[in-house]
């Protein structure tokens, strides 16, 4: 059996070497207070074992990591219909770009840029009646943490500074690609992006993708094929406009967020979550990328 704890300690050492690099997200004021030197990492195996190092049980704002779970729930509830309203290609542009959306007539390039996540949130709202509640409840159930919830201060901060997201949503709606009122979609989007969870919680919650669609209780959330396809989109689109660099360094499907978290999937082995609030110029955690790079280098495990 591999020594997962030793691998995590190796990864943490690599993360500590990045101290002083990057900067904490400040375009959402409520995120600017995060400790730039914080770091945590957790690993949840498909067999039910759990390992962690550093600040692995400290909650943080998951931000765009939530887009992984909203997409999974839409596919689980509504099947492939979502792909009529959003693509599956890397964007090549910043995650909040308006230009690309205009050129492509209100069809976002992929579900992990902001425009695509708004469409996914809209469809999840139609399917469940409460998109944010559906994501929250899924994370609570998979992590076993009943206290996991939206941070209202972060949600309010996002809403108060969300002019670009509002512009994206109105533009998408102008092309008939939203089913619900713009205000509802934005509110639910901010609520699920503002969920506070720890590395522990997110590693456990992401484990269904390492288990080919099986949930923690053994029930099936989605088919093996659907889980494979989510992992494929994570690999090509999950790290903002640096998905190629992430695939090159880490070699795993992963989803990052400007709160500093990254969830990565080791199919048939485990789900990982690394967190460090200091971000590079694209919006990915400097420490978390370094840790995941060190982990896959030391272990020799990747999807390649």
Q: Which residues are catalytic?
A: 64, 67, 189, 240, 258
State CA 157 to chain mean position distance.
19
In angstroms, rounded to a whole number, what is the distance separating the alpha carbons of residues 263 and 221? 18
Of 11, 172, 34, give the one whose Cα is nearest residue 104. 172
CB-based contacts of 24: which residues, under 8 Å, 6+ apart? 31, 32, 34, 36, 260, 277, 278, 279
Place of tokens 């002019």: 163
- Cβ atoms 98, 164 nearer than 8 A: yes
Report phi then psi at 196, rounded to 5. -105, 125
Tell me how long the chain is: 304
Q: Where are the beta strands (DSSP E) in the chain?
A: 23-24, 40-45, 50-54, 60-61, 149-150, 195-197, 254-256, 261-266, 270-275, 278-279
DSSP 257: -
| Burial (CB count within 10 angstroms: exposed 0-12, middle 13-18, buried 19+), residue 120 | buried
Report phi then psi at 257, rounded to 5. -145, 155
- Strands in 270-275's sheet, in edge-to-edge order, are 50-54, 40-45, 270-275, 261-266, 254-256
* Strand-pair partners of 114: none
DSSP-derived secondary structure for 19-64? TT-SEE--SSGGGTTS-TT--EEEEEETTS-EEEEESTT--EE-GG
């Amino acid at each position: 059996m591999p020594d997962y704890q030793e691998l995590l300690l190796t990864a943490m050492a690599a993360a500590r070497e990045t101290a002083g690099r990057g900067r904490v997200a400040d375009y959402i004021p409520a995120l600017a207070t995060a400790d730039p030197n914080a770091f945590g990492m957790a690993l949840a195996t498909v067999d039910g074992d759990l390992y962690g190092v550093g600040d692995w049980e400290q909650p943080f704002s998951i931000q765009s990591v939530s887009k992984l779970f909203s997409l999974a729930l839409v596919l689980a509830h509504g099947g492939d219909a979502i792909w009529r309203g959003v693509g599956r290609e890397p964007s090549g542009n910043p995650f909040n770009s308006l230009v690309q959306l205009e050129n492509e007539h209100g069809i976002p390039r992929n579900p992990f840029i902001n425009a695509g996540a708004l469409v996914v949130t809209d469809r999840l709202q139609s399917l469940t009646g409460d998109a944010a509640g559906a994501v929250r409840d899924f994370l609570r159930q998979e992590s076993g943490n009943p206290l996991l919830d939206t941070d209202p201060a972060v949600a309010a901060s996002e809403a108060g500074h969300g002019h670009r997201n509002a512009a994206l949503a109105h533009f998408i709606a102008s092309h008939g690609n939203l089913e619900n009122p713009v205000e509802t979609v934005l509110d639910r989007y901010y609520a699920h992006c503002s969920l506070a969870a720890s590395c522990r919680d997110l590693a456990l919650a992401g484990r269904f993708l390492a288990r080919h669609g099986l949930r923690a209780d053994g029930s099936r959330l989605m088919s093996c094929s659907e889980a494979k396809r989510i992992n494929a989109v994570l690999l090509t689109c999950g790290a903002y406009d640096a998905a190629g660099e992430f695939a090159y360094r880490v070699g795993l499907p992963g989803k990052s967020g400007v709160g500093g978290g990254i969830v990565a999937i080791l199919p048939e082995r485990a789900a990982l979550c690394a967190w460090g609030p200091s971000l590079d110029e694209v919006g990915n955690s400097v420490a978390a990328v370094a840790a995941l790079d060190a982990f896959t280098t030391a272990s020799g495990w990747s999807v390649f």
